[in-house]
Amino acid sequence: MKLRVRLLSATMAFIVVASLLGLLLVHSVRASEIRQVDQQLETFLPASRVAGNAKAPAHPSGSTPPVFNTNHYSAIYLAIITNGTRRVLSTPLGTKHASPELPTKNTTSLHHAAIVTVASTTGSLSWRAILVTLPHVHSEVLVAASLNQVDATMRFLQLSLLLTGIIILAALTTAGIWITRLGLRPIAEVTDVAEAIVEGDRTRRVAGGQRGTEAGRLALAFNVMLDEQQTLEARLRQFIADASHELRTPVSVILGITELWRRGELRNGYQRDEAIHRIGVSGTQMGRLVEDLLLLARLDEGRPLENQPVDLGRVIRDVVADVVTTDPTRNIVLDAPYSVIVQGDEASLRQVAVNLVSNAIRHTSHDADVRVRVFERGDETVLEVKDSGPGMTHEDAARAFDRFWQADSSRSRAGAGLGLAIVRGIVDAHNGAVAFASDVATGTRVSVTIPRQGNSRQALSATSIDQQRRLS
């Protein structure tokens, strides 16, 4: 059932219940008013002991009709009926001398009075009346009270209830229109946009509702979700294109060498050895790329890493020593404590250090300095790699952690552009943070912050890499 139909059904149910309650209220008030009138009538019924000072003429039978003091009965109609002749003793004020009709039922016992509602002999006035038979005097006493005040009260109450109902109905109608416009219409628009997107129109967006309302927040959240989804899809397409680009070269090399082998153009041993070497290099490049992609996929899935104490100082010394062994001409300065313990996965943290130091070596000239620092700050350990080579522009630095992105658009440099993306993924998995700062004039600095465990502070002074190698 649609929400609009539910609101309409609830409104109709409310109107029906309110109407029934109004009718019940009118009936209850009228019954209460008539009950008070009846009690007033019962008070004025003639009793066996009749008081008064106005004497009636003698009855033919010798008996004397009852005598009433009419001074106290200004609100009561009182008449004695003898042989069909009505002698009015009292008429209420405001009745314009109207008289009630005779009730069809007589009352012979004052203990069981039959009070009924009768019409007026003239006009539209109603009465509550009782006709009492006096057998000893062969007369009847008609006692009645006008319902003029009761009818006026009922008319006022009904008019008040009618006006209240109209006001409530107008308020409900206004609220329904307001809710439909601010609440249901944006929801319907969200539904229309969702259906349009399913059909292929991914440019549709929900028109912004009023800010601060639930519908406006829903529209904003829906648009943000669509924008994020579109961005993710664009990144995925770019990711696939970049991965295909990185794999195209080694695959082309392997296919080309295979085609040369099939044609028999690799005749001598040198050509065959060179072909096998190139196949090995291309295979290694492809394997490294696939491993990096698998690692990023595992990090994106949030797979848990090992969580154990790791001596980050020893890891950094090993990584720097390996780099110096492969490139002994580079000037690398290490400034780190002898031992600093962090909580995490040793293999992953080693890869972070390798990627950072390798990037610094790969993207700087041989005369540029590379400084590696490890220091403790509060409950955190900071790994900082800084070089004095040519840095990046602010636009390039903003994309440094994008996958398959390189500042060199020609892709002439080694690597697939996944190093910093892997660093960020691993650091995030360790509940750490990565800071990247680069300037064309001063170089690049990458800082990795990892929560640590332990308080070991046996620090080494800043030394050249040759001194560091001797200490290790």
> Nearest Cα to 320, choosing from 332, 335, 337, 336?
332
Select the highest-mean-pLDDT range: 401-405, 435-439, 454-458. Answer: 435-439
> Nearest Cα to 186, choosing from 212, 210, 163, 169?
210
Tokens of 348: 């992953």
> Nearest Cα to 106, choosing from 73, 140, 78, 74?
140
Integer Cα distance of 108 and 112 in angstroms: 8
Residue 152 pLDDT more than 80?
yes
pLDDT digits (tens, 9 = 90+) for 49-64: 333 333 344 444 444 4
CATH numbers and ranges of domains, the chain: 51-144 (no CATH), 214-301 (1.10.287.130), 308-471 (3.30.565.10)
* Higher-scoring residue by pLDDT: 168, 249: 168
Q: Which pLDDT band, with edges at 50, 70 and 90, does 24 fall under? A: very high
Of 262-271, 336-345, 389-398, the range with the lowest mean pLDDT is 389-398
> Nearest Cα to 318, choosing from 367, 378, 369, 374?
374
> Nearest Cα to 352, choosing from 427, 286, 243?
427
Using a cut of 0.95, tell me whether the model's pTM lies above it: no
> Nearest Cα to 319, choosing from 383, 264, 399, 410?
383
What's the mean per-residue pLDDT of the chain?
76
The mean pLDDT value for 257-264 works out to 82
The mean pLDDT value for 133-151 works out to 82
Select the highest-mean-pLDDT range: 164-168, 277-281, 361-365. Answer: 164-168
Q: Which pLDDT band, with edges at 50, 70 and 90, does 409 fall under? A: very low
State residue 472's pLDDT score.
39
> Nearest Cα to 432, choosing from 294, 295, 299?
299
pLDDT digits (tens, 9 = 90+) for 177-221: 777 766 667 777 788 888 888 887 777 887 765 666 676 777 788
